[in-house]
Structure 1
């Protein structure tokens, strides 16, 4: 008889009972996980939850992020000085070299991950991995499946944008992402940028997922049973965090966030959201890097014109539908499984 993998399913069937006792968790446990059957957005509401913990934890996460950014900024400044990279002469930028400037932003955002993980572990006294999924960690095989689906989705999105742009005829192609029309970059420039982007973009995209699809919905889940308030608030904050641009850009970012929020809830983890965010950001960063000056003028998704929203309105729900079908096929856990039992020897029988 085959056994069920607790990484993939909600519960596992116990084998034949054995003559063992089960040690209960100590009353003064430093870290406690949510009970079995808890959905993703409620994983922060453990037995140790108090009304103030999510608020203090959020403050600790922000302070940790600031301190990590400060130290990373000092390190980047020293490295830039040693390699001859000049600071920016324009407000809002850090370095004159656009690749260095983008790398600094990507690193700063990536440092959100240790900030929220530390706050979850030290303040809320829950497993830091409960931000990743209902089983307490990223499910790497499931993440790989989602990455494959995401790659297809982003390529289709790009083609849909091209079709809507060609049909409309009123939006210049280079205006789609504020790209320059100065021609293609040379291979050494592109390959250097590609190495940096491939190394950093996955962490930046994952960090935004840990905050907007993980931390914020779980913070609301500490107080509310419904997940929708947290998902909607996170979607609005996600769109606003990209800046004020066009109504089309705001709507597309909100739709993107909402679909990913639903997927996190329905699949019990961040894997599907991280996969699509990484594939989307990496594709368009690399696309911008193919142009001379593309990384300095690539702008923000908040300023997208209407063809981007039209393409996203088709692709993001379609991606969600595909992921939910795959989650059913792979029997992905939606709620916290039973914790592994810690066995203790039964007392020896008297002679």
Structure 2
């Protein structure tokens, strides 16, 4: 008598998975945890954290300024006096610490905003904002410092040369040297983190949130650039100038699949601007509403354009990953995938 073969337990069929390639701004839309409201929650939480930190820092500062009589809060010019006093100025190092620090303190709350919104790639504990590889590509970031530095120096030298040729004169170095050196040290230490924070906010959370709702990249680019521009207290030409930079940063972020190039250029631009203006040879040593008018806008367009070309060349040379390859459950026949490209 032969024994009957024991039944073999059936193995459940694995669901069909389609590998798709997605650009940076569409990363979250393809995640299984996607819900239309989650990006909105992330943006709102980031805004709440930013405003909350600003208030927590401003209240004690206002108390000190009032107690010491530095500002007459009952004066009709109190607002203008306050802005002039606390705006980052290389001649007053404490304003650099306050201004840059108030932005830097938001950085740890960026992943918290994502966590509260429930935004994670496939539920794993990595940051979806870094790049299409879900990690910050440090080597690529360092490479991106090359085109950023070269382009900034070249365009600044060009503007300086044109100005001198037209008869403009440089002012004497007016900042106290020890104060200037201390301010330069503060800038070198804080600006890279400040620049990264703004990139994670405007080209990270904001770009991916809009990209989760709208698949057309130009819409995400324009929205992030406009909000970036209006977040700066400049005149109309200055806001347009910042918008141009925001457009360039957003385009390059999508083209290179990550925040690294934007962080590099943002850092170089801000460090160089502080170091140059801090000499007092080109006017005030601090940030002002006047940003150069139409000439400044044209110079910005040229600078950003050359920088974008430089980054593109380095990205091709270094074979940078521009898209993320993600496994997506295959939709039923006749149903279009929601993520698109």
User: What band does the TM-score fall into relative to the shorter chain?
Assistant: 0.7 to 0.9
Say whether 1:40 aligns with 2:46: no
Structure 2 residue 253 is matched with structure 1 residue 264: yes
Provide, for residues 41-95 of structure 1, a one-character-per-residue CA deviation record: whole Å limited to 9, x for no partner.
Answer: 01222211112111122221122223334455578899x89xxx99656322565
Instruction: Give the whole-Å Cα distance in 2 for the aligned partners of 1:87 and 1:134.
Output: 49
What's 2:3 paired with? none
Residue equivalent to 1:98: 92
Alignment of 1:67 with 2:58, yes or no, is no
Indicate the larger mover: 98-107 or 323-332: 98-107
Find the aligned partners of 2:36 and 2:208 in 1 and give their Cα distance: 13
Residues 187 and 296 of structure 1: CA distance in aligned 2, closer, same or farther (over 3 Å): closer
**For residue 236 of structure 1, what is the aligned residue in structure 2?**
226
Residue in structure 2 matched with residue 130 of structure 1 by the alignment: 128
Aligned residue number for residue 112 of structure 1 = 106
Q: 61-70 or 140-149: which moved more? A: 61-70
Counterpart contact for 1:121–1:128, Cα < 8 Å: no
Moved more, 201-210 or 265-274: 201-210
Relative distance call for 1:324 and 1:92 in structure 2 (3 A) is same
State the alpha-carbon separation in 1 of the partners of residues 225 and 169 from structure 2. 28
Q: Which runs of 5+ in 1 are unaligned?
A: 1-20, 26-34, 175-180, 340-351
Deviations 1:227-285 (A, max 9, x none): 110101111222222234143x3332222211111110010001111101100110010
CA positional deviation for 1:109: 1.6
Matching of residues 178-327 of structure 1 within 5 Å: 181=171, 183-247=173-237, 249-291=238-280, 297-300=286-289, 303-327=291-315
Give unmatched runs, 5+ long, in structure 2.
1-10, 73-80, 328-341
TM-aligned CA distance change 1:36 to 1:195, over 3 Å? farther
Work out the CA distance in 1 between the residues paired with 2:273 and 2:156: 9
1:240 to 1:63, Cα distance in 2 relative to 1, 3 A: closer
- Paired with 2:138 and 2:60, the residues of 1 have a C-alpha distance of 31
Q: 1:332 to 1:287 in 2, by over 3 A?
A: same
* Corresponding residue number in structure 2 for 1:161: 159
The CA deviation at 1:309 is: 2.4
* Paired residue total: 294
Structure showing greater radius of gyration is: 2
Q: RMSD of the alignment, in Å?
A: 3.2
- List per-residue Cα deviations over 1:173-202 (Å, max 9, x = no partner): 67xxxxxx5633233111111111111111
Q: Distance in 2 between matches of 1:237 and 1:130?
A: 21
Aligned to 1:328: 316
Rounded to whole Å, the distance in 2 between the matches of 1:246 and 1:262 is 23
